[in-house]
Structure 1
Amino acid sequence: MTYRKNASLRAIAAAECAPSQKLAAANMSETVIEISPDDIDRSAGLRDRFSLLPEGFDALKASIEEHGQQQPILVGPSDPHTGKYPIIAGRTRLRIASLLGIPLKAIVRPIEGDARLAAQLQENLARTDYTVGDKIGIMIELKKLSYKQIRIAKMMNLSTTDISKLLGIYGKLKDLAKTEEFPRALLSSRAGRPKWERLVKALQELPHNSQSKVCGKVIDRIYRSSNDPILLAMIAIREAADDPLSVTAYRPPEKSYEKARTALASATFNTRDLCRLEYEGDSYVNALLQKAIQIEHATLKAMIMKRFDVLVAEAMSSDQTGDRSAL
């Protein structure tokens, strides 16, 4: 069954927020057909969604379930070998139609190569619900297709500075984890750029030999949890910082411990700060050192009372012998 409809790209994307003004200006009469979700090639084009559920997914699903699909998706002509239509825009509606078991209204548009990729990006990236993870994922996919950063910036309508910063975050996480699986697993996060940057900094503050071990633990948790990946990563890092011995077999050289002992011996103690310690050295040793000087006031009071009792006992003993020089 076919329909005739005057459809712009703005109308095509209305159910998932407005597309770019450039594509919205295209206003042409096109044929809308009904296609089974099984007849659409989901692997075609560029993967542009990495977050698990885009914002408004449930609301859009409920709307389509109650009122039907209001706006068609955009596909290319069917492949002569497979008979499938390559998806260009409307992956969320395709996913919903598959869940509901209903056919999809679609516009078939004969565009290929870079023109198809540009249409997908300009239509999809203009939506406000794209996450930092989605954007980084798209950049990585484009780089795999040998696109340069200047070209990527133009296609994604971002500055080259933004491209460099986001790819820099991804690269640092890859280096710290010693595997691309870790930053790749984080792409489903809905966290903003500040949280991604805090994650990088928190990982860098861990002992070098424990960083990849923590990342491995995070990957395992991501696969077993529905919580946000960035949140899971920060929790794992805090656990490692609190108990460094539990996540690494790293052993600093003896000179690192000696340097810490010297700093502790030179530390000044007072009732306000308890311990004023100056130490610059191995971060692993520093974690142990900081744990050692964490003495609560109640503990300190008990230590003082115990020492006083010892002095009293010595004083009483000296009284009995007539020797008061012990004090």
Structure 2
Amino acid sequence: MSRRVAEPATDSPPSTGSTTSPPLPGGNSPSPRRTGAARSFGAAWQAQEQARAVADAERDGSVVELDPEICDPSAIADRVPDTTDAAFDAFVEQIREEGQRSPALVRPKPGEPGRYEIAYGRRRRRAAQILGRPLRAIVRPLSDTELVIAQGSENLARADLSYIERAHFARNMVQAGVARETIAKAMGTQATHLSSLLTVADAIPAPVLATIGPAPKIGRPNWLTLADRIKTASPEQIDTAIASPDLAGKASDERFAVVLAALTVVPKPKAKPRAETLKDPKGRKYARVERSATGLRVTVEEAAEPGFGDYLAQRIPEILAAYRASKG
């Protein structure tokens, strides 16, 4: 069930921190030459536009209160769960003390009358469940593409979404059948960067990602290093790494370090050549034979049998010919 929330108009926009939703769907796709500075500017512009949209929605009474239990997360996950997420605990306390500053965006769930699907606001919904409060939300009849773009737009403006979460979100959209052009627009990124995200996401098995979590301080180079080690590791090594007792009680970034260290490739020690001493019937040593992975070495004891070394060297071609003849 839902009810409309009447709130006074305000000239000041809501907070643009982690609780601020991105703009509603719309606008042009990002330029293929978009720089990091332009992206930052775009995120700030989006936050301002979203603030205006939220203020308009609150003024015209389109913000409603919904039972969080009838609001389902989008089928395309963006967040990577983390049981040690202290930031979320702080987020819940902020809402407990100050209320939900920014509404979520939901749509009526297709095929399930009376239920809603969240475009953005999953954490707000979780907080509402924990606090036993309704979820403040804007309800819009979004298409599947508009839902994805709205969800991705929030990711663009959200500073606390880690690198692997962006990669995870991109892969989940691909697996859901979303066109890459739509994914690039939703994430505000270029096709080459999108391919990079997908490469990393595809290289990290789900159990490894679930064990590590979002790893907010770990960037692309370190994830690529882990991906390389996973490629050369056996399934048993990976299982051992993610079951390590050293993971207990550690934050996500520390868990990444533990798994990475557990998959460090230890070079195998070079096998020492096997040596055999040859003796004549009287027990005198006349040669030493050393076998290794790359060949065989014969060392003649000249003192024990003078001239035998030269005799052997001269007959090596004969010995080789006889060996080849014996093989047919």
* TM-score bin, normalised by smaller chain: 0.5 to 0.7
Secondary structure of 1:74's aligned partner: strand
**Greater mean deviation of Cα atoms: 78-87 or 148-157:** 78-87
Return structure 1 stretches of 4+ with deviation > 6 angstroms: none
Quick one: which of 199, 202, 206 aligns to 2:226?
A: 199
Distance in 1 (CA, whole Å) between partners of 2:246 and 2:10 is 41
**Greater mean deviation of Cα atoms: 155-164 or 226-235:** 226-235
Pair 1:235-2:266 in alignment: no
1:1-327 to structure 2, matched below 5 A, reads 1-5=3-7, 11=14, 16-17=19-20, 19=22, 20=43, 21-22=45-46, 24=50, 26=53, 27-28=56-57, 29-42=60-73, 44-52=74-82, 56-77=87-108, 81-174=112-205, 180-183=206-209, 185-186=211-212, 188-190=214-216, 191-203=218-230, 208=232, 210-221=233-244, 225-227=248-250, 228=252, 229-238=255-264, 241=266, 258-259=292-293
What is the percentage of aligned positions where both structures have the same residue? 24
Shift of 1:114: 0.7
Change in 2 beyond 3 A, CA 1:141/1:172: closer
**CA deviation vs aligned residue, 1:247-275 (integer Å, no higher than 9, x gap):** xxxxx9x99x924898xxxxxxxxxxxxx
Change in 2 beyond 3 A, CA 1:224/1:188: same
**CA deviation vs aligned residue, 1:90-125 (integer Å, no higher than 9, x gap):** 111111111122222222122222112211211233
Q: Whose helix fraction is larger, Structure 1's or Structure 2's?
A: 1
**Greater mean deviation of Cα atoms: 102-111 or 88-97:** 102-111
Distance in 1 (CA, whole Å) between partners of 2:15 and 2:103 is 6
Counterpart of 1:241, as a letter, is V
Counterpart of 1:168, as a letter, is T
Native 8 Å contact 1:54 1:129 kept in 2: no
Native 8 Å contact 1:133 1:186 kept in 2: no
Shift of 1:195: 1.9
Secondary structure of 2:266's aligned partner: helix
Change in 2 beyond 3 A, CA 1:187/1:59: closer
The equivalent of 1:269 in structure 2 is: none
TM-score, normalised via structure 1 length: 0.61
Change in 2 beyond 3 A, CA 1:14/1:217: same
Distance in 1 (CA, whole Å) between partners of 2:246 and 2:20 is 30
User: Superposition RMSD on alpha carbons, in Å?
Assistant: 3.8
Secondary structure of 2:126's aligned partner: helix
Distance in 2 (CA, whole Å) between partners of 1:149 and 1:84 is 29
Distance in 1 (CA, whole Å) between partners of 2:245 and 2:153 is 31
The equivalent of 2:304 in structure 1 is: none
Distance in 2 (CA, whole Å) between partners of 1:81 and 1:18 is 25
Native 8 Å contact 2:72 2:118 kept in 1: yes
Distance in 2 (CA, whole Å) between partners of 1:110 and 1:222 is 48
Shift of 1:185: 4.7
Secondary structure of 1:125's aligned partner: helix
Shift of 1:46: 2.2
Change in 2 beyond 3 A, CA 1:154/1:187: farther
Distance in 1 (CA, whole Å) between partners of 2:10 and 2:184 is 28
Native 8 Å contact 1:32 1:108 kept in 2: yes
Q: Which has the larger radius of gyration?
A: 2
TM-score, normalised via structure 2 length: 0.61
* Count of matched residue positions in the alignment of Structure 1 and Structure 2: 242
